[in-house]
Amino acid sequence: MASGTEVRHIDAGTAIEIASAALMGAGAGPEAAGLQAAHLVEAELRGHPSHGLRRLPTLVGRMRAGLLDPNATPTLTWGSVSALVVDGNRGFGPVTAYAAIEAIQERARETGVAIAALRRTHHLGMLSPYVERLGEHGFIGIVLSSTEGLVHPWGGVGPLLGTNPLGVAVPTADGGVTLDMSTGAVSAGKILDFAERGLPLPDGWAVDEDGRATVDADAATRGAISPFGGAKGYALGLTLGAIVGVLTGTAYGPDVKGTLDETHPVTKGDIICAIDVAAFGQRPGSTELASYLELIRASGTDGRRVTVPGDRSRAARAHAVADGFDVLDDLWLGLEGLADEHREAPTGVRA
């Protein structure tokens, strides 16, 4: 097995401990470090390592460059009774997002709906834990984020659109729907992975720097990811990015920086929305929706079960909580190195 592809098996508790220590080694207080670490590990548990521990070294790099203040407290300002303006003050994404969620949950219980517009906060990571938190409290939860330009316009050249993901939870008593999807055909990480392995890309994933469809992963890294679903996916991604940009006053497409680099202030934005189902005279945890989802699940060809958005992630999580998960050896050694710096620091606090 080539160097860089060896893995080790880790349990969630150990992963959170080491990730927390690694963040504390770069100056984060224990509470903020714990929240950020747990959110990264949550992505690993759900089978989405692209949003997991491999994001940690960039966060540490940004802390060391003075771009990320790990101990920032977000500033929350109500612009109207249902409109919350959130300045993350350059803090961790999960710290800002959970502070916003707590505020809009309480408000939406009174008003029916509340929306938070977040700026100057770092990468939120996976969106599903946030919307599921809202779902657990009887809300429909919706999160939109803008991201670095990686996706080309339909018919256009260059990475002018973010992968602009959308997260939605519509709760039922037994879980309901959790959508967490980007509007790119594939993640940038997956294209890099194919390039490293020297494998051709499937059709429809990417274009080269002249905007021509390509299966050459190297050419794709110099080009752009295709939107999922052609013209419609392009239109959706552009629109979601526009909503985020207009409500947060943050940047668009090529001007979005600060979640993949260690050199630029963060200029992306996020929207979090809580809708109280009860305010519309409906019961949260709809049994009608639960029955409908079962009908969908049972509709598979050849007797296979169809997955409803969220099913796969829930199953992966249950398995990984019980049995642990694999982490690339190099990544893990790097995290341990960062954690050791914390342990050895004279003013450090043990995780």
Q: Which of 21, 45, 166, 338 binds a second copy (CB under 8 A)?
A: 166
Please work out the total of residues on this chain that contact a second copy, with binding judged by CB under 8 A: 75
- Relative orientation angle of helices 93-111 and 128-136, to the nearest 10 degrees: 30
- Relative orientation angle of helices 93-111 and 30-45, to the nearest 10 degrees: 90
**In the window 178-217, what residues touch a second copy (CB under 8 A)?**
179, 181, 210-212
225 binds a second copy (CB under 8 A): no
176 binds a second copy (CB under 8 A): yes
How many degrees, rounded to 5, is the angle at CA 336 between CA 334 and CA 342? Answer: 115
**In the window 101-140, what residues touch a second copy (CB under 8 A)?**
110-115, 117, 140
Q: Which of 173, 306, 315, 318 binds a second copy (CB under 8 A)?
A: 306
277 binds a second copy (CB under 8 A): yes
175 binds a second copy (CB under 8 A): no
Q: Tokens 């020297």 label which residue?
A: 198
289 binds a second copy (CB under 8 A): yes
CB of 37 or CB of 251, closer to a second copy:
251
Residues with Cβ within 8 Å of residue 130, at least 6 apart in sequence: 97, 98, 101, 124, 141, 143, 167, 272
**In the window 312-351, what residues touch a second copy (CB under 8 A)?**
none
Question: Per-residue x/- marks for a second copy, 64-83, CB under 8 A?
Answer: -------------x-xxxxx
DSSP three-state, residue 349: coil
CB 161 within 8 A of CB 234: yes
CB 327 within 8 A of CB 7: yes
288 binds a second copy (CB under 8 A): yes
From 12-20, 30-38, 152-160, 342-350, span contacting a second copy (CB under 8 A) = 152-160
Write down the least CB distance from residue 270 to a second copy, Å.
Answer: 12
CB 317 within 8 A of CB 46: yes
DSSP three-state, residue 140: strand
Neighbours of 298 (CB within 10 A): 10
342 exposed, middle or buried (CB, 10 Å; 0-12, 13-18, 19+)?
buried
CB of 59 or CB of 191, closer to a second copy:
191
Write down the least CB distance from residue 108 to a second copy, Å.
Answer: 8
154 binds a second copy (CB under 8 A): yes
